[in-house]
Copies of this chain bind each other. A is one copy, B any other.
Amino acid sequence: MMKTFELTCSVCDKIFPGDGLRLRCPDCGEGLDTPIITEGKIRASDKPGQRVLERYADFFPYLDLSDDPGLGEGMTPLIRDDVLAAEVGVAAVYLKNETVNPTWSFKDRGTATGIVQAKNLGYKKVGTASTGNMAVSVAAFAGRAGMKALVLVSDKIAEEKLNPIAVHGPTLVKIKGDYSKMYDTALEIGGKLGIAFINSDATMRVAGYKTMAYEICEQCDFDVPDYVIVPNSAGGQFRGIFKGFLDFYRCGLIEKLPVMVAAQASGCSPVAAAFEKGENRVSRFENPSTIAGAITNPLPPSGNGVLRILREYGGLAVTESDESMLASQKRLAERGLFVQPESALTLAVLKKLVAKGQIKAGSKVVCVLSGGGLKFTAALGMQQLKAHSCRLEEAVEFISEVF
């Protein structure tokens, strides 16, 4: 087991030894990347339910995978939807359904690798500052791994969000005060109390998201899709997926890289704003206002890292409105998958890009559906949902009229 290895700053490229839980570049403060992978073999099994980290072990040479919590994360379906493709006007739409992870969001992939590294390093405690998918994921995986978990939430959190975290048994602390300072406070707490914080763009969390790209490559028979659209909040998911494609490209497993698209809500789009202005650094997005709470991050910690990838590899950053997001949520549910509004944003953005001619008709596109719809049922109140009513005795007649 390697306790330290060469980390590369995602923005300034400085390389220095460190472990994957050290959060930021000591020089420029940006997120760090795990070592570059240039060779590896997929250890494919034909048994149902293979562990994702077992399958891609070659691509995580810096982890001792005997500490794999193994809660069944990853290995999610890539669902081709020809009806949506025809509607949108592209050759193929693939839906990467991350809502079937053990805590029903993509976060589980990064939590798993974060937990492995924390155990490798001898930590007994992990932590996170989050009110959503990540809080649940860290609490669940810590339980599985036999570690103690600390979850720091804002005291403004709704009760309905609190209980699904609490049930996993973490130490749950509601923080009164300026929650935007929580990130730094968490680092201070972690350092003083020996807690490994696995936050949104922690190096080893980001590394875990690479597996999503590995799977997409395999599921497309290594004929890489033209575009991959990712909901963008802190930027960790985006960075991880892209780096996954890059791994397989460097290893000679795929012949090209997809165009990466960072999808943001119009009401909170710091990355898209900087991208449109031709800037290389994100600025704080003032007065954010969107229903997409899971991707409301006015100053995303990996924003600059995402921008750099967009510049160097020819990606896009695109916004869409809450209305379009909700319409896409409804449409995806009609096609069988009930996802968070944030996930539906990827389909909304795809439609916009096709309408603007930026994605051509012959394209093959992956939309990443990051989290399940039951995570945030309040959004359903914004849908125009209806139900009929009738008496049992009149049911046959009534239904023959309405159905």
B173 touches A398 (CB 8 A): yes
Residues of B close to A78: CB separation below 8 A: 49
Cβ of A148 under 8 Å from chain B:
yes
Q: How far is the CA of A386 from the CA of B169 in the complex (A)?
A: 9
Residues of B close to A391: CB separation below 8 A: 175-177
Question: Interface size bucket, A side?
Answer: 35 or more
A104 touches B169 (CB 8 A): no
User: Interface of chain A, helix or strand or loop or mixed?
Assistant: mixed
A95: min CB distance to chain B, Å? 9
Set B144, B177, B395: member contacting A185, Cβ < 8 A: B395
Residues of B close to A174: CB separation below 8 A: 387-390
Residues of B close to A192: CB separation below 8 A: 396, 400
Q: Mark A145-162, 1 if CB is under 8 A from B, else 0.
A: 010101011010000101
A278: min CB distance to chain B, Å? 37
A338 touches B395 (CB 8 A): no
Cβ of A286 under 8 Å from chain B:
no
A166 touches B386 (CB 8 A): yes
Cβ of A167 under 8 Å from chain B:
yes
Q: How far is the CA of A163 from the CA of B174 in the complex (A)?
A: 30
Q: How far is the CA of A215 from the CA of B99 in the complex (A)?
A: 21
B400 touches A193 (CB 8 A): yes
Cβ of A189 under 8 Å from chain B:
yes
Residues of B close to A47: CB separation below 8 A: 44, 218-219
Known A-B contacts: A48-B215, A173-B402. Give 17 more (CB < 8 A).
Answer: A72-B79, A77-B102, A83-B146, A104-B104, A125-B403, A136-B338, A155-B389, A160-B377, A163-B377, A166-B380, A167-B329, A172-B387, A175-B392, A176-B390, A179-B392, A185-B395, A192-B400
